[in-house]
Structure 1
Amino acid sequence: MLLNNQNKNYESFGFRFKGEHQKKIVGIDSIGWDEVTSPSYDWDGMKRSEVGRCVFQYTLAGQGIIQVGEKEYSLTAGQAFLVKIPSQHRYFFPSNGDHWEFIHITLYGNEAQKIFDFINVNIGHIITFSPESEPIKLLLNIFEKAVGKKITDSYQASAFGYSFLMELNRFVQNIGSPAEQWPESISKAVLFAQKNYNNPIGLDDMVEASGLSKYHFTRLFHGTISMTPLKYLTKIRMDKAIELLRQSNLPIEEIADQVGYSNGNYFSKVFHKKIGMSPGQFRQSKHTVPVNHIVID
């Protein structure tokens, strides 16, 4: 089983690029994927030195608490909070908690301030997102870029930060009713797949990430996403393969490895079955409509 032997690689990255445009538009101060288990994790929004920062933190598993003004909220899987520094808030790990796993991004700049002000006033500080929502998928993609050392200058950081803000703004503008909160076990499995698709993971690893029995997991997963776990994993891998085929000149064998297939021939067979042409044909085709994502059955 991969999950037992795998280092989860909890990491955080800080960016200190020069460039006044970041303050005028948006810059990324930090991004990370973390898990805490100690009550020493405690942040008071009026006692921090990072003035002018905007924090978005999305709970992946476990539980945390945030106090905003006079109100206190329990944060569980699928819930994010949005706060500005400085402001009257405090988020912390409860003394009776087991663990709190989350992904977070801290932004700054005029646009970040404007959008966070709008959301906090009109929507609130707590929003529910599914792991398949565009803001969360983009946040995971930005984290992946940071892990791969692909955010190398202020322009890239600003572009990624602005893209995230726009997806966040689009999401909240379209909220007609509170988003359906997925079962935590399914969110954990989906996020595990999104983070580890480039490794040779399979159904058993997703089952273990969920904490459920295989039978219960497969039924609940399909009922939540209308897709089997393996089809979902294949969809992620095909989307990533399409991105690499369109945006890089990497050999097919290397692309196969980067999307979780140890064998280039097997990857090509799966790709052909799902997309209707070989990876090479897809890359070279001049007469098909360009796509970034594939709907598969």
Structure 2
Amino acid sequence: MKKQWYLPTPAFSKYVCYPEFLGHYSHFPQHTERRSEGFLGNYNLHLIFDGEGYVFHEGERIPMSRGRGFLYPKSAYQYYGSDPGKPWDVRWVHFSTEIVLPLLEEVDQSRAYLFTFDLEAKLDELFEEMYLLSASYVTRNEPRLSALLYELLVKLLQNSEPLHGSVPHEVRQSIPSAADIIHVECARPWSLESMARLTGYSSYHFLRLFRMVMGKTPNRYLTDCRLTRAKLLLVSTGLSIAQVATQSGFAQSSYFIKVFRKFEGVSPVKYRQAFGS
């Protein structure tokens, strides 16, 4: 099977990201590409759901099979292909962006990003919706196509690991679970060590993985959770500023006021005046 769609240049020119050429190949043993540097001026993402194949990267032939993928930056040299005897079931998209996205920052500094991804993350469902919208393209589909691609890239960031040095899926899943606990119990006196104990990682590896999966450090995430709770208390209760600070996890009201002003641009009192009932 070989299905592919070219999309016209979008009518609106400022989408965060937008698919230009996408498709789904299976039982297609002729699938192989070798592109010279500078030939393809957009990003090229492939996710492999079955079958076997390869990517040539830095002089090495690297096997690429179920649960693996690759993402090339713009204008990169590309050499990859499906095994004729066990061809890929692969979903792919060439796309452009208007801004630098988190996943692409690292890719732009490399020749290619090779990774493993979680097959249960339902990335194929995002592709399927993009296929349907592409097959019946009308201009009003453009915002949804852009949104689906953005969701795909964010989910891939959260559910993938570099091919070399990757960790098992069940281990990676402990990071979002720990984040949920921290969010609900943000008033606790958390330290990096106590947050890391939720996952069984050392503090060093927890910090690295949390930043990779959640897009921010554990301490920044904790601060954001505390500020979210504080804003809710400010607008929905008559608690004093000191009480709001305590119930949001800030040990001192003076520190709470300083942090609140830094991230929200106003003092807690002015925030309450502006948004409180």
Length-normalised TM-score, structure 1: 0.47
Instruction: Tell me the TM-score normalised to structure 2 length.
Output: 0.49
Larger radius of gyration: 2
